[in-house]
Amino acid sequence: MAQQQITLLGCGKMGSAMLEGWLADRNLDANFTIIEPHQTHLGWLEDQTAVRLYADCVAAIADGAPVSTMIVLAVKPQMMDDAIAGLGMMKHADCAYLSIAAGISTGWLKQRLGDNAIVIRAMPNTPAAIGKGITALYADAPDHVRDLASQLLAAVGQVVHVQDESLMDGVTALSGSGPAYVFLLVEAMTEAGIEAGLPDDLAVELAKATVCGAGALMAAVDTTPAILRENVTSKGGTTAAALAVLMADDGLASLMTKAVAAAKARSIALGE
Ligand SMILES: NC(=O)c1ccc[n+]([C@@H]2O[C@H](COP(=O)([O-])OP(=O)(O)OC[C@H]3O[C@@H](n4cnc5c(N)ncnc54)[C@H](OP(=O)(O)O)[C@@H]3O)[C@@H](O)[C@H]2O)c1
């Protein structure tokens, strides 16, 4: 691939995580133009010769920022309209757009970027910050655009391709928001351990290590989560007693279904 010119619009939590992955990717030959109004958290970019940092697009254009191969839209959904309006001359017929915003459809983006604009959409999640994210990519676009987007997203973890854009709201609700559900699980297990008489620090250490260890085990073996669960559940034992509560009709599955449905509804609403 020829050298790429990547513009990142919004370098907050997710933008920074992606940029870190891109800079570490030795197979990615690219220069980066970063547009981010608040830069106090970006001191680590000072020594990066491939990165040019600007507060807004006007400053980038005035400084002669190159035409972008791809503009990655990584602002909050609520800021997207203003952010796109601010792109000005950075919009160019030759560039493609990759949005990671929850809820915002490619149709909505094309209304603002032009009907002929190449617009693709992805949903990463926060483990991207340590290269362990999973991103769903919806890319109805030429191969070279899909390949570049896949490479950018693979720099922060696993990439799965989604053929139907309407699935992106469910993806957002499951894996985009999902890390928060797991953190809440650790919080809930910690509280339950304290309630069971454990000291606070021991409870949090046990809860965290249990979730991390179970996740690592699940990733390491070729066994379904259901079989892994059955493997640690002996009839009449302690785990079975707990699972009888968690797997009751109004238990975890029912709660999780309601939670994911609520997140999906919110994703749909953000796009309206
Ligand atoms: N965090 C996640 O877990 C996650 C997961 C998947 C997808 N996403 C998506 O990723 C996007 C970014 O989320 P985030 O968590 O990284 O949010 P964030 O930390 O708030 O980052 C967004 C950054 O964009 C800046 N910004 C606002 N307007 C701008 C403009 N016109 N031009 C350039 N930069 C501008 C914001 O500055 P100010 O703070 O000054 O507004 C902020 O620093 C969202 O659309 C979200 O749906 C996030």
Q: Are residues 264 and 133 in the same domain?
A: no
Over residues 171-198, mean pLDDT: 98
Global pTM value: 0.93
33 and 151, same structural domain?
A: yes
- Beta strand ranges found along 36-165 (DSSP E): 51-54, 70-73, 96-99, 118-123, 133-138, 157-161
Residue 55 counted as domain residue: yes
Q: How far apart are CA 226 and CA 213, in angstroms?
A: 16
Mean pLDDT, residues 36-64: 95
Confidence band, pLDDT 50/70/90 cuts, at residue 2: confident
Same domain? 120 vs 148? yes
Domain count for the chain, please give it. 2
Question: Shortest CA distance to 117 belongs to which of 108, 125, 126?
Answer: 108
Counting atoms of ligand 1 from 1, which one is nearest the CA of 101? 45
Mean pLDDT of all residues in 167-173: 97
Domain span holding position 79: 4-168
Which of the two residues, 140 and 94, has the higher pLDDT score?
Answer: 140
Between strands 118-123 and 51-54, the pairing is: unpaired
Q: Give all strands of the β-sheet with 133-138 in edge-to-edge order.
A: 51-54, 30-35, 4-9, 70-73, 96-99, 118-123, 133-138, 157-161
Note whether 11 and 74 are within 8 A (CB).
Answer: yes
Residue 75 CA to ligand 1 center (angstroms) comes to 4
Centre of ligand 1 from the C-alpha of residue 159, in Å: 21
Pocket test for ligand 1, best of 14, 57, 112, 153 (most atoms within 8 A of CB): 14
Q: Which residues contact 205 (CB under 8 A, 6 or more apart)?
A: none
pLDDT of 94: 84
Q: How far apart are CA 19 and CA 21, in angstroms?
A: 5
| Same-domain check for residues 79 and 107 | yes
Helix (H, G, I), strand (E, B) or coil at 92: coil
Model confidence at 1, pLDDT cuts 50, 70, 90, reads: low
Say if 84 falls within a structural domain. Answer: yes
The pLDDT of residue 120: 98
Instruction: Report CA(71)–ligand 1 centroid distance (Å).
Output: 14
The residues near 195 (Cβ < 8 Å, ≥ 6 apart) are none
Are 81 and 99 part of one and the same domain? yes
Same domain for 94 and 133, yes or no, is yes
CB under 6 Å to ligand 1: residues?
9-10, 12-15, 35-38, 74-77, 79, 82-83, 86, 100-102, 123-126, 176
81 in any annotated domain: yes
CATH of the domain at 93: 3.40.50.720
- Kindly give the distance from the C-alpha atom of residue 254 to the centroid of ligand 1, in angstroms, as a whole number: 31
pLDDT above 90 (res 270): no
Are 133 and 195 in the same domain? no
Residues 159 and 257 in one domain: no
Closest C-alpha to ligand 1, atom 25 = 10
Answer whether residue 251 is part of any domain.
Answer: yes
Percent of the chain with pLDDT over 90: 95
For residues 207 and 144, membership in a common domain is answered with: no
d(CA 257, CA 96) in angstroms, rounded, equals 36
The H-assigned helical ranges of the chain are 13-24, 57-62, 80-85, 106-113, 143-154, 168-171, 178-195, 200-220, 225-231, 238-246, 252-270
Give the whole-angstrom CA distance, residue 45 versus residue 27.
Answer: 20
Domain boundary among 168, 186, 207: 168
Q: How confident is the model at residue 272 (pLDDT cuts 50, 70, 90)?
A: confident
The pLDDT tens digits of the residues spanning 197-207 come to 999 999 999 99
Ligand 1 closest atom vs CA 9: 33
User: Is there a domain that residue 173 lies in?
Assistant: no
